[in-house]
Structure 1
Amino acid sequence: MKNWILSILISVVTLSGIAKEGMWIPSLIKNLVESDMKEMGMKLTAEDIYSFNKSSLKDAVVHFGGGCTAEMISDQGLMLTNHHCGYSQIQSHSSVENDYLTNGFWAKNKSQELKNPGLTATFIVKIEDVTSQVLEGVEGNMEETDRQKKIEENIKAIGEAAIEGTGYKFIIRPFYFGNEYYMFLTETFSDVRLVGAPPSSIGKFGFDTDNWIWPRHTGDFSIFRIYADKDNKPAEVSDDNVPYKPKYSFPINVSGVKKGDFTMIYGFPGATDEYLTSYAVEYLINKQNPNRIKMRDISLEIIGDAMSSSDKIRIQYAAKQSRISNAWKKWKGQNKGLVRNDVISRKKELEARFNANANMSVLKYGITYTSLLEKMEDAYYRVEPYQFTWDMFVEVWYFGPEILRYAQGFDRLNPEKMKEEDLEKTKNALKNSAKGYFKNYDVETDKKLFVALLKQYFSVIDSKFKGDVYDNFELKYKGDYQAYADELFAKSNFTSLDKVNAFLDKYKGAKSFKAVQKDPAYQLATGLIDNYQTNIKPNLVSINNELELLQRTYMKGLMDILPKDRKYYPDANSTLRVSFGKVEGYDAADAVVYDHFTTVDGILSKMDNSTIEFAVPDKLVDLIRNKDFGSYADADGKMHVCFIASNHTTGGNSGSPALNGGGQLIGLNFDRTWESTMSDVMFDPEICRNIMVDIRYVLFIVDKFAGAKHLVDEMKLVKE
């Protein structure tokens, strides 16, 4: 379901002076911002950054697992990304006996590298504007559903024709809210192995306290390797595979950065909403974010207590806790920044300017923009109660008690959806997935989440959206969520591996599905889904369809009405982009001025071995105190850790290469400052900063701390 807060894809940058914001499509850089980039210090050409006909920087940029970015750093398939991007893989290989989260992991040779079934690494082969083909046969007076159906038919035909006989895959995405479409041909590798990761006391140093914060001292990196078949083509995980030979890998510059240096971020930013209307921003600030934060306050307190109670639960819930807390803290900073910078008023100023010029739109552009914003305001007002209920449902369903989604997954056994001859195959698949699921599951923790989050969910949504599941709960349990949880968890077949296996062993076919339907966890899960499908989704979809048309028109209107003072770039949508800026500090608040880099001195200043967040390994302490930095220290004699710059980034840019003007790797993007989290809605180059770990600190940890110089020897190090 499209979230209208996340759907509105309009962004602008002033034409006066150098462009200082934006996430640019690499294939369009030459015509749009190449001159700006060169004026700021770039020494490359647009073709060096993106080319289909020869190797270019794009061939070293990887979509890691579909959610992060990574980069190639050797001609033997070595790949660098963030520690938090590889966290799930590090956690999956960890146990109480082999606690790689706590102690780190370093393969001494390729035979020790750890396989990760399901993890992918995707390269972009080609980018192509396919707007005219996608919109062929699409009429202006079409209903949105008919329009979308025609577009989907065109996309399928265009994509299949493009990849025929190539072995590639395709992605076609809308840009400018459906005013343009671009196709990305991709090549995906599925044998990706863990090579090295520092202990969490380095890779997550500062944990939640320092997340989204500057100054920062986190060595947020992990190292993987891509494997391919003997012909260097993608292959399933196999011992027969060999290290992949990339078309391009980044040379690594060990000279360091200085204030004012050009920087470029190349990666796969997930989603931005730079030109939400003022109505949408009001909802975000006043209702959506505060309520999502409250839901996660509850989750994080429960999970935190559980993790501190045993090493087993700490390992089980490490990745889950990290996933929940990341957005939780971001939303807090986002609200702070949006309010402090009076973004609602700034949005209203733009809308007033739009309206002031809208009256002449029919004569000038053949389309009327008069009253467009009034219609949008009305649609936002009507969709809000449905949108809010959906937002809260997402928190319960995707980030709350896991038993609900897990139980609902047994709907695969529904005879209406499964052929009888597929029974054994489906049962075996459910048994296999159960092993991984229960490896990272604690029933008592899940029960506490169940009680607390269901209570919060039903307390904040409108009574008309609560549905039969709530009425039945009130009738039987009189508001006692604990009693409800105790009975449900006691009776459900989906609370332990033994119970699931026993249930599946007895499962004989269609008649046995009644046992699934009678399970209380399955009943609640399907009841919540049915309530959404019946009471929320129809109006949510209908009004969102209105908003899609209005927003697409508004996008075109901005381009028509305000063309002289705006250069429009598309919002992030998990496709390959380039952003650029320069190394610089910023004024965070009155009398609070931040420098552009940190050093290991700050690690010792923050060190507190009584808490997991700021514990520092003894070996690292010794290296720092002895100033044993090898060849990785800066010219000032200090070991730099992180630096900041004015690149426009968002989620998905985690792990992106930070490049200098010559296209050499100088750092690894991993975060933004707290003041910068508002940049998903409005980017301000005066205060918005992305945070990168200095590549020299990465090399220092790999070489001097981990003793894995054989990995550094694979890389091409350069000095200027």
Structure 2
Amino acid sequence: MRTRRVVVSFLPIAVMLIPMIPAVVAPAEEGLWLFNNPPEKLLKDKYQFEATRPWLEHLQRCSVRFNSGGSGSFVSSEGLVLTNHHVGADALQKLSTRERDILTEGFLARTRDQEIKCVDLELNVLVSIEDVTDRVQRAVAAGMAPAKANQSRQAVMAAIEQESLDKTGQRSDVVTLYQGGLYHLYRFQKYTDVRLVFAPEQDIAFFGGDPDNFEYPRFDLDVCLFRVYENDKPLRPAHFLKWDAAGVADGDLVFVSGHPGRTNRQNTLAHLEFLRDRAFPFTLDVLRRREVQLATFSERSRENARRAKDDLFGVANSRKARLGGLAGLQDPAVMSRKAAEEQKLRDAVAADPQVRAACGDPWQDIAQTLRVWDERYVSHQLLERGWAFNCQKFEIARTLVRMAEEDAKPNAERLREYRSSNRDSLRQALFSDAPIYDDLETLGLADSLSLYAERTGMTDPLLQTVLAGKSPRQRAAELVAGSQLQNVQLRKQLADGGQAAVHASSDPLIALARTVDAAARKVRQQYEEQVEEPQRQAYARLADARFRLWGTDTYPDATFTLRLSLGVVKGLTDERGQQVPAWTTLGGAYQRAAEHDNTPPFALPKSWLERKDRLQLDTPFNFICTNDVIGGNSGSPVVNRRGEFVGVIFDGNLTSLVWDFIFTAEQGRSLAVDSRAILEALRNVYRADALADELGR
């Protein structure tokens, strides 16, 4: 067996032979694989498939990352990008008005001049990968104090990113893999002129609503189409996916190429217990109160419901996902399996003197960081993560305050999000002219200030300064009403004026951001130096132990960067022992609606009711497969052996929610919209033949 160390994407991989002992056996479908380290042997041995370098490079360059969160793919030679409706929802919400609710009612541009430019959407396409591990690790000397190590590591990463940006002009991010075991430089082509082409009505995109969310069978046309422009003309991408109009069959091998957000599969047992007992319960408390708040606000008027719709969907979706993850962490069977995996690694390390000497006791070191983290967790979430200030204007204010201060420092010493290499993306978000609604802002800020008071007590000195002698509700109303940060021109003036302009500003939310910034920075520094950096070093030693013992023919935890997963189209057995087919059909959607008297959330849109007789009702609608996916994979293309588009991932079932921590393919499934349903709906519901004809061409 061999270990592999990647130097540059799609170049030969160096080989080093070392003694091996058996690794923990994983399901064949498990893996969020790096494109420069795919599971070649597994694909050849089990599926008789060779993922050639041209095949991988083509799929890589077809794949798109939505910086608002999610994935997509180029599906035409004229720059069409296909993703989920719920991935595009942020853009749809920002384009919607009281008079034209695109998020709810849908949209179709029948000509190019009808395509609508999105407010602040940024798309990234991965161009290349370079291994910079040696340079990053050389910056941290043995025995260096954690604070100095963190400073040195961040400085060299900033230098690498800036050098790459200056050389290529491409977005350049140093990505931490294997929790510090490897560092890769990812270069992206960035696109910011993105225009809406098609979105179905939300009633069919999210048919079944929350009751059916993370369930199967499903009947959702969860798709959205955008077009990328460059120099005011449609982009002609060198790579785009061909369209398989015939679709897939039961048992077919399929691949998912997307950007999974975050997994914790390499975490120690103690770390998972911290998430179970501390982090997840607090997060769920915040999500539940926000969901109630937004639902109540939405019930007051139709316009309120429109304004809050995307936020409410996001919060409700996160709440259900976190509940599923927590259920997994509370399952003794899951934790027993994680304990067994950890013990296997401990035993292997103990049995190898060289590995033991190099590894030390990272489990104990991680446990120590968790004790520190437990003491500071709530303060960090409230102050640095901003959970005490749930208000878009406050986020803008904090960005302006910090950007002014960080710009006065050398680039290598800045907070990562304010480095020069990230400046274009930062300014695009900061100067977005997306609508801001003061009533919704006041509601969110009042409740989060109340959360702050509940967690710290009303006598907390900083809280008293923040509230200025008023109740959370009164103070929130005063701050939001007095702020003018909805004015984009004012934001630009403050940003261009630097520290002098920001310090002179009388805007109350700028003043609030200045007031809390020292405390927020302090808790961030404590986290980075006493938790994050020691954890990174300990996990890096664990990664090194795995590499030495079992090689690098494995995958790292997800990092919202491009990954490849493999699986097969396959039905499942439900809790009653009944076989559930791998497909639903368009006709099944009408049957499901009839069972609920066509009432929300099982109400089909008017267009679907009026054009039922035009549809082939036996057309496959949604299908399930065993591919390994996680949050962030939404919108990822599903492709066949030929690299052709056969579907788009939009969800996982309830059993898959534990995949944050452990992968199981017995009942867990990924859900996709079938390529055949997309064509059928475009042609026979929306009469968008020209758009359907463009797909894959």
TM-score range, shorter chain: 0.7 to 0.9
Between stretches 323-332 and 156-165, larger displacement belongs to: 156-165
Q: Which residue of 2 aligns with 1:4?
A: none
Q: Is the 8 A contact 1:644 1:692 kept in 2?
A: yes
Query: Structure 2 residue aligned with 1:290, among 278, 281, 298?
Result: 281
Corresponding position: 1:20 with 2:22: no
2:437 corresponds to which of 418, 431, 441: 441
Paired residue secondary structure (1:171): strand
Aligned residue number for residue 45 of structure 1: 51
Cα 1:13–1:158 change in 2 (3 A) is: farther
Partner SS, residue 367 of structure 1: helix
1:452-601 aligned at under 5 Å gives the runs 452-461=447-456, 467-472=460-465, 476-477=469-470, 480-485=471-476, 488=479, 492-494=482-484, 516=505, 521-534=509-522, 537-538=525-526, 541-561=529-549, 563=550, 567-587=553-573, 589=575, 591=577, 594-601=580-587
Aligned to 2:179: 177
Name the CA distance, whole Å, in 1 between partners of 2:22 and 2:250. 24
Deviation at 1:170, TM superposition (A): 3.0
SS of the residue aligned with 2:469? helix
Deviations 1:412-453 (A, max 9, x none): 8979979xxxxxxxxxx99x979935x33142x333333333
State yes or no: 1:277 paired with 2:263.
no
Residues 61-108 of structure 1 show CA distances to partners (whole Å, capped at 9, x for unaligned) of: 122336322111111112211111211222222222222222211111
Cα distance change, pair 169–522 in 1 and its aligned pair in 2 (3 A): closer
Verify: 1:690 aligned to 2:676, yes or no: no
Instruction: Give unmatched runs, 5+ long, in structure 1.
Output: 1-11, 229-234, 236-240, 419-428
Does the CA contact (< 8 Å) of 2:438 and 2:480 recur in 1? no
Percent same amino acid at aligned positions? 24
Distance 1:156 1:496 in 2: 31
Structure 1 length normalisation: TM-score?
0.81
Q: Distance in 1 between matches of 2:597 and 2:86?
A: 21
Distance 2:197 2:311 in 1: 23
Residue matched to 1:88: 90
Q: Distance in 1 between matches of 2:459 and 2:22?
A: 43
TM-fit CA distance, 1:711:
0.9
SS of 2:196 mapped into structure 1: strand
- Alpha-carbon displacement from aligned partner over 1:648-670 (angstroms, at most 9, x marks no partner): 11222111110112221110011
Question: Which of the numbers 326, 332, 349 marks the counterpart of 1:335?
Answer: 326
Secondary structure, aligned partner of 2:624: strand
Q: Does 1:649 align with 2:642?
A: no
> Residues 94, 159 of structure 1: CA spacing in aligned structure 2 closer, same or farther, 3 A cutoff?
closer
Change beyond 3 A, Cα 1:489–1:18: closer
- The question of 1:306 aligning with 2:297 is answered yes
Per-residue CA deviation, residues 19-67 of structure 1 (Å, 9 max, x unaligned), is 32111111222xxx2232245546553224324xxxx222211223363
Does the Cα contact within 8 Å between 1:435 and 1:497 map onto a contact in 2?
no
Q: Taking structure 1 as reference, are residues 310 and 495 closer, same or farther at Cα in structure 2, changes over 3 Å only? A: farther
Residue equivalent to 1:708: 688
Hey, what does 1:242 align to over in structure 2?
A: 233
Shift of residue 495, structure 1, vs aligned partner: 8.5
Residue 661 (1) aligns with residue 641 (2): yes
Distance in 1, Cα, partners of 2:389 & 2:592: 31
Do the aligned partners of 1:41 and 1:261 also contact (CA within 8 Å) in 2? no
- Going from structure 1 to structure 2, the CA distance change for 1:379 and 1:683 (only over 3 Å counts) comes to same
In the alignment, the residues of structure 2 paired with residue 165 and residue 370 of structure 1 have an alpha-carbon distance, to the nearest angstrom, of 40
CA offsets, 1:233-265, max 9 Å, x none?
xx4xxxxx3222221221211223332211100
Which amino acid in structure 2 is aligned with residue 281 of structure 1? Answer: L
Q: CA contact under 8 A between 1:468 and 1:531: conserved in structure 2?
A: no
Question: CA 1:485–1:96 in structure 2 vs 1: closer, same or farther (change >3 Å)?
Answer: closer
- The aligned counterpart of 1:372 is 362
| Residue 5 of structure 1: aligned partner | none
1:679-704 C-alpha deviation (Å, 9 max, x unpaired): 11111122322111111111122111
In the alignment, which residue of structure 2 is the partner of 1:621? 609
**Match of 1:425?**
none
> Displacement, 1:132?
3.4
Cα 1:107–1:379 shift into 2, 3 Å: same
What TM-score do you get using the length of structure 2 for normalisation? 0.83
Letter in 1 for 2:652: R
State the shift of 1:610 in Å: 7.4
Q: 2:172, 2:466 → 1: CA distance?
A: 47
- Measure how far apart 1:643 and its partner are: 1.0
CA pair 195-482 structure 1, distance change in 2 beyond 3 A: closer
Q: Which amino acid aligns with 1:112?
A: Q
Aligned mates of 1:599, 1:651 — CA distance in 2? 25
Distance (Å, rounded) in 1 between the aligned partners of 2:140 and 2:498: 46
1:34·1:46 contact (CA, 8 Å) conserved in 2?
A: no
| 2:258 is the alignment partner of 1:253 | no
Give the deviation of 1:150 after TM superposition: 4.7
Indicate the residue corresponding to 2:78 in structure 1.
76
Relative distance call for 1:215 and 1:457 in structure 2 (3 A) is farther
Secondary structure in 1 aligned to 2:632? coil
Per-residue CA distance 1:170-195 (angstroms, 9 max, x = gap):
33322222222223332222222111
Deviation at 1:672, TM superposition (A): 1.3
Change (3 A) 1:391 1:214: farther
Q: Which residue of 2 is the match for residue 142 of structure 1? A: 144
Q: 1:190, 1:534 → 2: CA distance?
A: 35
Alignment of 1:26-175 (within 5 A): 26-29=35-38, 33-41=39-47, 43=49, 45-51=51-57, 56-65=58-67, 67-136=69-138, 138-152=140-154, 154-155=156-157, 166-175=168-177
After alignment, is 343-352 or 144-153 more displaced?
144-153
Q: C-alpha separation between the residues in 1 aligned to 2:468 and 2:162? A: 54
Q: Which segments of 5 or more consecutive residues in structure 2 lack a partner in the other structure?
A: 1-20, 409-425
Aligned-partner Cα distance in 2 for 1:581–1:269: 16
* 2:228 equivalent among 226, 229, 234: 226
> SS of the residue aligned with 1:579?
strand
Q: Structure 2 CA distance, aligned partners of 1:171 and 1:415?
A: 22
Mapped partners of 2:351, 2:46: distance in 1:
39
How far the C-alpha of 1:219 sits from its partner, in A, is 0.8
Q: Secondary structure of the residue that 1:342 maps to in structure 2?
A: helix
**Superposition deviation, residue 198 in structure 1:** 0.7
C-alpha spacing 1:128/1:370, structure 2 compared with 1 (3 Å): closer
Return the letter of the residue paired with 2:676: R
Q: Partner residue of 2:11?
A: none
| CA distance in structure 1 between the partners assigned to 2:556 and 2:244 by the alignment | 31
For residue 254 of structure 2, what is the amino acid of its counterpart?
T
Distance 1:36 1:413 in 2: 47
Residue 187 of structure 1 corresponds to: 189
Q: 1:616 to 1:368 in 2, by over 3 A?
A: same
Query: CA distance change for structure 1 residues 641 and 13 in 2, over 3 Å: closer, same or farther?
Result: farther
Could you tell me whether the CA contact under 8 Å between 1:78 and 1:225 is conserved in 2?
yes
Q: Distance in 2 between matches of 1:69 and 1:514?
A: 39
Q: Is the 8 A contact 2:358 2:541 kept in 1?
A: no
Paired residues of 1:41 and 1:661 also in contact (CA < 8 A): no
User: Contact conserved, 1:175 with 1:182, CA < 8 A, in 2?
Assistant: yes
- CA-to-aligned-CA distance 1:627-666 (integer Å, 9 cap, x gap): x325xx6xxxx12211111111122211111011222111
Give the deviation of 1:122 after TM superposition.
2.4
Distance 1:170 1:303 in 2: 37
Amino acid across the alignment from 1:533: R
The farther-off stretch of 366-375 and 646-655 is 366-375
C-alpha spacing 1:374/1:397, structure 2 compared with 1 (3 Å): closer
